[in-house]
Chains A and B, each alone.
Chain A
């Protein structure tokens, strides 16, 4: 792998950018792999990277039906945080956040991770009680959390509508200073490049059409580029998990819903952290290009269309303008939608399945991007050892029937039913 450095940038500048090599190979699929990962998003590529790096399993293929990072990895609002109340969740996401902090160095790829702070707004006394409980739980686990008073908010975010007659009156907030954003495409590209350098085959335009089963065990996959054998197959296709699992006659506790995101035209820096409200369910940040990135509720009905309903655009814009009145003059530049796996407790599923040789990573609901490195790390462990890592053991597929659900908000696919 050609290392990227300040020196290589300088060299490129002097020789007309002719010294760059392609970042990863374009291999044809082999007949057999130790591990096949279905889905070339950030999670699948991270899994392959940690399989090779941590577990020494390098005979690995990542199969992607279109181009890597073209699904939900490229469709989210790039927020990274670990401010969860429940231990199973904050342990996983804090482990993730620590990996984010070293990711650019580890991958030799600038993922533009910016720890600008991630703030949850409180709109009522009961909001503030919930945020205080959450902050206490985080601090008890050694995670950074700070309570924000109105005076601190006024100084930190002068554009926020903190007046008494605001549409959504704000009374305080809980900040996680180490939270922030990252460049989503770079995460997929960085993991692909680093995994490829360790011998992983990243195979694009290769759609999985079926599974080969012998005696109830998965032995490989049928694809648009032929049949490929594997000792172990890992599903990592959030949004379409149910469709791929159905190829092995497996039904998942997942419903596929649509989540939209929006960006405004780019403007000069005006919002220098990630602002979220769990009560009105809206989130706002500003990208490094200057666009205001906004998101809100899912579309609230099952669909695979990747086309959002237009009244959601109006709804989210209304919420964001109510929080930041200065946004009212901006023009909306783009909106897009991703099909997300909504699990019925709002938490992911990472682990083994009842089908031998088949593993599952999915059900990420709203929160997959920030988990990318931890998801890859724990899934790689599960695929390598045949059993979950301590961090993903609670996120088992059978927790719904046993009643051991991990319901941070009790939301699942229907947050308005809270």
Chain B
């Protein structure tokens, strides 16, 4: 594709496949470094949300897009990460360097428990199981004294080595840093033996097993890794929002994550990143548009909640109907078209 031929394994396995990728990535990093100096606080807060969403979406894409296990309970794992952080950081006073991985592992542990039924369940049964799990987590958080139910929990700002990160600009570097780290890890998982096993399981699990891939191990591993990502994203969300309530981790959050990976492109790293950025950006875009139209249509601002939900739904449906490969697929096709022009292929 695109006239690029790999002649060695090193080339085939490289994370950054060509010089231009390196150049563009360099420019992106440079621009991101500049962001805190140029953008307003509100714009930065959008970028922060996007960076956290990227981490969560990467995790979900590893599970759904690469391993083919449907999960409608991703929001629950974010909740577990967020509450672990809140409880450990504030009640036990543990430092950030401990609570962050702890949140990830806590979510991963529960993810692996949820993953056990996936050895027997497939497709829609798994979707229903994870859905039920999501509702039960929300219920538990509402009713357990330790999580203070509706009141929610306050969360300290991140502090590392006595430096506490309270400003939007500083949090930006943390969030984007973790998003890059998460992308790198995901890339590495995907190009290694683990990722290839995931893909084999997605394409046909019985055939994968026949070829010597231990299904139990890799399915549970996929759930664990995916939930670990969600836990980290949840922990960062907790630190960022400074106040967490169970209601913010409900089914609509899980659906938003599903929308991200479907819009971006299932089974691609680039897709998860693009989808997370777009889906997080859309509500802000809607707010922007309604602000402009508020003068002429004053009723519109009351409909934001409904519109947001409807547009998410519409994106999922349209993407599945017309572009099942998502934005990553469009990008790939555009690139091929560009490279081979004026020929069709």
Question: Are chains A and B native binding partners rather than an unrelated pairing?
Answer: no
Q: Which residues of A contact B (CB under 8 A)?
A: none
Question: Could you tell me which B residues sit within 8 Å of A by CB distance?
Answer: none
